[in-house]
Structure 1
Amino acid sequence: MANHRLVKLIWIFTEKFGLIFLSMITFVAYARLLSPTELGVGTVIIAVVELIGMIYSSVLEDPLVRLERLEDKHIATAFWASVLVSLLSIVVISGAVTLYTPDPVLRWMTAVASVKILFTMMARVYVAQMRRSGNFRMLASRTLLGKVCGGVGGIAVALWGLGAWAVIAQVLIMEFVSIVVLMRADPRRIAFSIDGPLLRELLKAGAPVAINALSSQTLQRGVTVILGMTAGSNAVGMFNMAMRIIDLPRTAIYHGLISYALPVFARRSADPSRLRAIISDSTAVSGFLLTPLFIGIALTAHDLILLIFGAKWTEAIPLLQVLACTAAIGNTAMYATTALVAVNCSHLTIKAEVATTVLALALVYSFGSLYGGMAAALALLARMAIITPLQIRGLNRAIGYDWRLFFETNYRSVVASLVMAAIVLMVSSRLSVQGYLHLFCSIVVGALSYAVAYSVMHPRWMQEFKSVFTTR
């Protein structure tokens, strides 16, 4: 059992870290080949399309994963409902953009990009089945192959000088290759059948999850859209640069962990004490790795931006520092939403999610024209500082995960990261080297100081973390 669990995790992280590597290659290429304005235009268009696709995905995928038995009628209903809704969305988006802008290039970009919704939604039933069966090897293979093909296609389009089309080409190729791989791996014929009562049950179960996803994705995508409206494409490009550096490790690692966590949490949903224990252990392990990672990004932001992406992205440095600190705070409650889904209590945080999202978007709208990308970064930081304690309150109501357990789980990684930050700030300013060597030395000093500080507070951390994967 322990070995099987480790194999699943190995495939999950093969996929996710492979995505980091591939995304980094394409992102560096885009930073070199595209202007901030071109990157901003492509990002805004994809943000709108992905927001819609994410809402639909959340309504169906997680409820399918949580079902006690997944039958053919569930698969057929979810698949064909997804296809029909996706096709309707493509028509609506294509029509709406003609009313929004007279620019024919933007119209075509948006219409073509909206096809991504169809590919994304067609994949949901396949992904849900593989998550249920633990076939993370196939999930990893399809994602990595799609990313490779999408990256090659996107870079080729950028080299041809087509600007923002590169971003759109990448995501379309990636999603198309992914669904083809999934269909070849599971070549069953899905009969055309939509069971109305069954669809209503799925929608009812998925509605709270979708609202939370809508809140989260409206925040991420909406910030980009509103920033573009108030501060222009250049500000969006700078903000997207900083956000992508954070999202590369965060999205890859978070999505990998949460994909694995939901079925694991669901199996323990009837025993709150066991569920609290695994949430605590998982958060401790994740915080041990991720909190110093994001604090480290904030500390080395100047070197990272200038050395890797060039001086034209200098304005992104303070944005990256703020967003890195935001991500570090989010690590402390990263499994809260997943745990609430597992015990069917997502409704406990819906109002908080929606209210804080509206607040963040209002801050961007109010201050975007004055402070540019920094308004968006600070709005996300404020939202994270508010939503985290509200998520813990929801967990406490659902399964008794209280503040004492929250602090016991997180204090070591937080304290050790603060010690690391103090030492790196003190040492890096005194280093006589520059460039990549300065960056390397800062990373080494940070890693060593964090390891020592954490080990002093928790000498047996290796044995305890190992037990998370072998005994629970």
Structure 2
Amino acid sequence: MANHRLVTLIWIFTEKFGLIFLSMITFVVFARLLTPTELGIGTVIIAIVEIVGMLYSSVLEDPLVRMERLEAKHISTTFWFAVLISLASIVVISLAAVLYTPSPALQWMTAVASVKILFTMMARVYVVEMRRTSNFKRLASRTLLGKIAGGVGGIGVALLGYGPWAVIAQALIMDFVCVVVLMLADRRRIAFCIDGPILRELLKSGTPVAINVLSSQTLQRGVNVVLGMTAGAHAVGMFNLAMRIIDLPRTAIYNGLMSYALPVFARRIGDPPRLIGMISDSTAISGFLLTPFFLGIALTAEDIILLIFGAKWAAAVPLLQVLAGTAALGNLAMYATTALVAVNHTRVTLKAEVITTLLALALVYAMGPVYGGMGAALALLVRMLIITPLQVRGLNTAIGYGWDAFFESSYRSVIASLVMATAVLFASSHLALQGYLHLVGNIAIGAVTYAMAYSVLHPRWPQEFKLVFTAR
């Protein structure tokens, strides 16, 4: 059992860290070839399309994953409903673009980008099957192939000088290749059938999940849209570069962890103490790795941006620092939403998710014209400070996961990370190094200091972390 869990996690993170590597290569090339304004335009268009795709995906996918038995009529109903709703959305988005913008170029970019919804939705039933059977090897293969194809296509478009089209081409090609790989690997014939009662049940159980997901995804992608409306495409480009540096590793790591955690948590819903223990252990291990990682990005933000992306992106340095600090705080309750989905209690935080998202977007709208990208970064920080305690309260209501468990799973990584930050800030100004050597020196000092501080707080951490994969 322990070996199976480790193999599963290895395939999950082969996919996710492979994506980080490929995405970083593509993004560095885009940052070199595109202007902030061009990157901002492509980002806003893809953000609008992805919000729609994320909404539909979350309604259908997670409820299917946690079903005890998945039948052919569930598959056919989900697949064909997904196709029909995607086609309707493409028409609506294309018409909205014609009405909203007089620019033919923007109209065409939006219409073409909206086809991504169809590719995303066609893949859902195949992804569900693989998540249910823990076939993460195939999931990893299709995503990596799609990312390679999308990256090559996007870079090719950028080299040809088509600006924002590069961002759109990358997203479209990636999703198209992903769905083709899945359909070739699973050549089932999906009969055209939409079962009304099954569809209603899926929509009923998936809607609260979708609202939660929509809240967070609207936050991530809606910020770009609102910032573009209030501060312009250049501000979106700067903010997006900083956000991408955070989101590339965060999305890959978080999605990998949540893909594994949802079925694991769901199998323990009949034993709340054991479920609470699993959430606490998972949070402790994730915090051990991720809290210093994101805080480290904040500490080395200037070197990262100037050395890798160039001086034209210097204005993104303070944005990256704020966003990295926000990501570090997000580790404290990172499994809350997944645990609530597993026990089917997403409604307990639904209102909080929606209200804090609307608050953040309102702050972006108010501060964007004055502070540009920094207004968006501060809005996300404010939301994180508000939503984290509300998520813990929701877990307490649903399964009895209280503040004692919250602090016990997080305090060591937080304290050790603060010790690390103090050491790096002190040593950085005294290092007689420049360029990449200065960056490497700061990373080395931070890693050693964190490891020592955490070991002092928790000397037996290697043995206890190992037990998570063998005893539970």
Shorter chain as denominator, the TM-score bin is: over 0.9
Provide, for residues 150-207 of structure 1, a one-character-per-residue CA deviation record: whole Å limited to 9, x for no partner. 0000000000000000000000000000000111111000000000011000000001
Correspondence 1:12 to 2:9: no
Provide, for residues 121-163 of structure 1, a one-character-per-residue CA deviation record: whole Å limited to 9, x for no partner. 0011100110000000000000000000000000000000000
Correspondence 1:257 to 2:257: yes
Partner of 2:39: 39
Partner of 2:307: 307
Provide, for residues 348-368 of structure 1, a one-character-per-residue CA deviation record: whole Å limited to 9, x for no partner. 000000000010000000110
Report 1:412-451 matches (<5 A): 412-451=412-451
Structure 1 residue 470: Cα displacement: 1.6
SS in 1 for 2:270: coil
Structure 1 residue 465: Cα displacement: 0.8
Partner of 1:68: 68
- For 2:282, the aligned partner's letter is S
Structure 1 residue 459: Cα displacement: 0.5
Q: Distance in 2 between matches of 1:286 and 1:350?
A: 24
Q: Distance in 1 between matches of 2:117 and 2:159?
A: 26
- For 1:360, the aligned partner's letter is A
Partner of 2:209: 209
Q: Distance in 2 between matches of 1:205 and 1:180?
A: 29
Report 1:120-199 matches (<5 A): 120-199=120-199
SS in 2 for 1:179: helix
Q: Distance in 2 between matches of 1:260 and 1:153?
A: 31
Q: Which runs of 5+ in 2 are unaligned?
A: none
Correspondence 1:57 to 2:57: yes
- For 2:456, the aligned partner's letter is V
Q: Distance in 1 between matches of 2:467 and 2:105?
A: 56
Identical residues among aligned pairs (%): 76
Provide, for residues 394-453 of structure 1, a one-character-per-residue CA deviation record: whole Å limited to 9, x for no partner. 000000000011000000000000000000000010001110000000000000000000
Correspondence 1:471 to 2:471: yes
Structure 1 residue 469: Cα displacement: 1.2
Provide, for residues 83-130 of structure 1, a one-character-per-residue CA deviation record: whole Å limited to 9, x for no partner. 000000000000110000111110000000000000000011100110
Q: Distance in 2 between matches of 1:37 and 1:52?
A: 24
Correspondence 1:226 to 2:254: no
Report 1:359-374 matches (<5 A): 359-374=359-374
Structure 1 residue 388: Cα displacement: 0.3
Structure 1 residue 28: Cα displacement: 0.3
Report 1:322-471 matches (<5 A): 322-471=322-471
SS in 2 for 1:75: helix
- For 1:119, the aligned partner's letter is F
Structure 1 residue 471: Cα displacement: 1.6
Report 1:104-123 matches (<5 A): 104-123=104-123
Q: Distance in 2 between matches of 1:187 and 1:332?
A: 42
Provide, for residues 319-357 of structure 1, a one-character-per-residue CA deviation record: whole Å limited to 9, x for no partner. 000000000000010000000000000000000000000
SS in 1 for 2:361: helix
Provide, for residues 278-317 of structure 1, a one-character-per-residue CA deviation record: whole Å limited to 9, x for no partner. 0000000000000000000000000000000000000000
Provide, for residues 203-259 of structure 1, a one-character-per-residue CA deviation record: whole Å limited to 9, x for no partner. 000010000011111111111001001100100000000000000110000000000
Partner of 2:85: 85
TM-score normalized by structure 2? Answer: 1.00
Q: Distance in 2 between matches of 1:140 and 1:471?
A: 27
Provide, for residues 353-388 of structure 1, a one-character-per-residue CA deviation record: whole Å limited to 9, x for no partner. 000001000000011000000000000000000000
TM-score normalized by structure 1? Answer: 1.00
SS in 2 for 1:269: coil
* Number of residue pairs matched by the alignment: 472
Partner of 1:241: 241
- For 1:459, the aligned partner's letter is P
- For 2:378, the aligned partner's letter is L
- For 2:393, the aligned partner's letter is R
- For 2:281, the aligned partner's letter is D
Q: Which runs of 4+ in 1 moved over 4 A?
A: none
Q: Distance in 2 between matches of 1:217 and 1:345?
A: 19
Task: Let me know the Cα RMSD of the aligned residues.
Answer: 0.4
- For 1:397, the aligned partner's letter is T
Structure 1 residue 461: Cα displacement: 0.5
SS in 2 for 1:230: helix
Q: Distance in 1 between matches of 2:359 and 2:3?
A: 45
Q: Distance in 2 between matches of 1:118 and 1:469?
A: 38
